[in-house]
Amino acid sequence: MKNNEIIVGLDIGTTKIAAIVGCENEYGKIEILGIGKSESLGVKRGMVSNIEKTVQSIKIAIEEASAKSNVGINTVIVGIAGQHLKSLQHKGSIMRNSLDDEISQADIDKLIENMQKLVMPPGEEIIHIIPQEFIVDKEFGIKDPIGMAGIELGANFYIITCQVTAEKNINRCVTKAGLSIENIILEPIAAAEAVLSEEEKEIGVALVDIGGGTSDIAIFQDGILRHTAVIPLGGDIVTEDIKEGCMIIKKQAEALKIKFGSALASENKADEIVTIPGLLGRPPKEITLKNLANIIQARMEEIIENIYYEIKASGFEKKLIAGIVLTGGGSQLKHLAPLTSYITGLDTRIGYPTEHLASKVSDEITNPMYSTGIGLVIQGLENIKKKLKNPKSSDNNKPDKIKRKFFDNILSKSRKFFEDDNNIN
């Protein structure tokens, strides 16, 4: 096994930071070599709020993953999420030199590279450029133009942008933890790789990744990402509701949610009671599971209604034949799929990251909370395959920010040379 075939996905979430080490086996399936997890103390709703705490959490997760996998970790693929993410539609085209030459991957790469030159509003930068459909000499609706003849090659693009400061803070945390970033990928895109089948993406599906601070949505149709959205509500706000509603501390509220929580109050009997130990000599507190479920259901209904609003706003509601797939740590609430199906009228299932995994895996790895991390590993392995298949085009298609960094380094070295020269004189 070559070291460059091993990929490490780093999921920097609101409640946890997970590092997942994986590679592809001889059957084309993903082998998970090790997982490291730590409590996330410096991230709020996908945004880094405390650099040092985030760095420490990353180090703990990486050290655990490295020890379990027996792999030295230097480079990671990082997931990005949060309300600062935006999307836009754009159309672009290039003129080719000859009708005799077939349209190649290099032409598509050039078209995508041109999109990198789009002028963004101050403080924003492009992280993903996704072709929706291609246009060859005014012929629309082409999925794959490679091999066709044509002078004008165009495409409709779905472009995802992020705040420069948010991306730089993530970069800073990872660098301070002694790592380098191979790539930054939108978290719902990564999660989709882990839990969705190609058939679901083809016939239409909405992936909903319910994390601690946010719920991320990615809608696929005809095998293409069509819409993304971020809702600033996740599992943490449910925990806060339980804490306030039951008048207990947050740690107890989280434990209650995980062990006894249900998204449907009708599934619990009024006489089912759980006892919480009292603090510092205070008497224990009795909480009915029906009351607990009522608190959870009220908040989950709000989250699902927000999700449904985004699905309707996308214009793809009637095209989601595969319905909704829920994943992420927040999807583990009992009876959440039936509640979602009842509110939206769409078929709903819980997405487990087993779609591309090798057959023999532990129960821990198949937990939906690791969907994003496993998806980052899958994306990393796919990128390696693309580079091996098309080495020239992959080099040419690097984002402008990498090129800018190269020229910035030259500029700073030149400046230092002249400053040193002046000092000598």
Q: How confident is the model at residue 391 (pLDDT cuts 50, 70, 90)?
A: low
323-373, pLDDT tens digit by residue? 999 999 999 999 999 999 999 999 999 999 988 898 777 888 899 999 999
Is the four-CA dihedral 80, 81, 84, 89 of positive or negative sign? positive
Range in 55-64, 122-131, 211-220, 352-361 the model is least confident about: 352-361
The letter for the amino acid at 236 is D
Matching residue, tokens 């480079």: 75
DSSP string, 116-146: TTPPPPTTEEEEEEEEEEEEETTEEEES--T
Locate CATH 3.30.420.40 in the chain.
199-351
| Closest to 243 (Cα-Cα) out of 225, 255, 229 | 255
Give the residue with greater pLDDT, 93 vs 364.
93
Q: Do residues 5 and 62 make contact, with C-beta atoms less than 8 angstroms apart?
A: no
d(CA 53, CA 322): 40
Position 408 pLDDT exceeds 60: no
**pTM of the full predicted structure?**
0.86
d(CA 123, CA 232): 21
Q: Say if domain 199-351 classifies as CATH 3.30.420.40.
A: yes
End-to-end CA distance of the chain: 55
Let me know how long the chain is: 425
Please name the residue ranges forming H helices in 120-247. 164-176, 187-195, 198-203, 235-246
Average pLDDT over residues 170-180: 95
Q: How confident is the model at residue 413 (pLDDT cuts 50, 70, 90)?
A: very low
Q: Tell me how far CA of residue 285 lies from CA of 48, 295, 359, in angstroms.
A: 36, 17, 44
Q: What are phi and psi of 289, to 5 degrees?
A: -65, -25
Please name the residue ranges forming H helices in 32-145. 51-69, 105-115
pLDDT at 420: 54
In Å, the largest CA–CA distance within the chain is 88
| Closest to 161 (Cα-Cα) out of 126, 121, 116, 115 | 126
d(CA 363, CA 352): 11
Position 403 pLDDT exceeds 50: no
The mean predicted confidence, pLDDT, of the chain is: 88
266-322, pLDDT tens digit by residue? 998 888 899 988 877 788 889 999 999 999 999 999 999 999 999 999 999 999 999
Is the four-CA dihedral 392, 396, 401, 403 of positive or negative sign? positive
pLDDT at 11: 96
pLDDT at 292: 95
Q: Which residues pair with 155 in a beta bridge?
A: 92, 134
240-257, pLDDT tens digit by residue? 999 999 999 999 999 999
221-244, pLDDT tens digit by residue? 999 999 999 999 999 999 999 999
Q: Tell me how far CA of residue 14 lies from CA of 39, 41, 42, 64, 363, in angstroms.
A: 9, 8, 8, 19, 23
Locate CATH 3.30.1490.110 in the chain.
86-164
pLDDT at 277: 87
Q: How confident is the model at residue 399 (pLDDT cuts 50, 70, 90)?
A: very low
Give the residue with greater pLDDT, 276 vs 394.
276
pLDDT at 46: 81
DSSP string, 248-268: --HHHHHHHHHHH-BS-GGGS
Percent of the chain, pLDDT > 70? 91
Q: Do residues 57 and 36 make contact, with C-beta atoms less than 8 angstroms apart?
A: no
Q: How confident is the model at residue 421 (pLDDT cuts 50, 70, 90)?
A: low
d(CA 239, CA 328): 16
Among 3.50.50.60, 3.30.1490.110, 3.30.420.10, 3.90.1150.10, name the CATH number for the domain at 86-164.
3.30.1490.110
d(CA 399, CA 377): 20
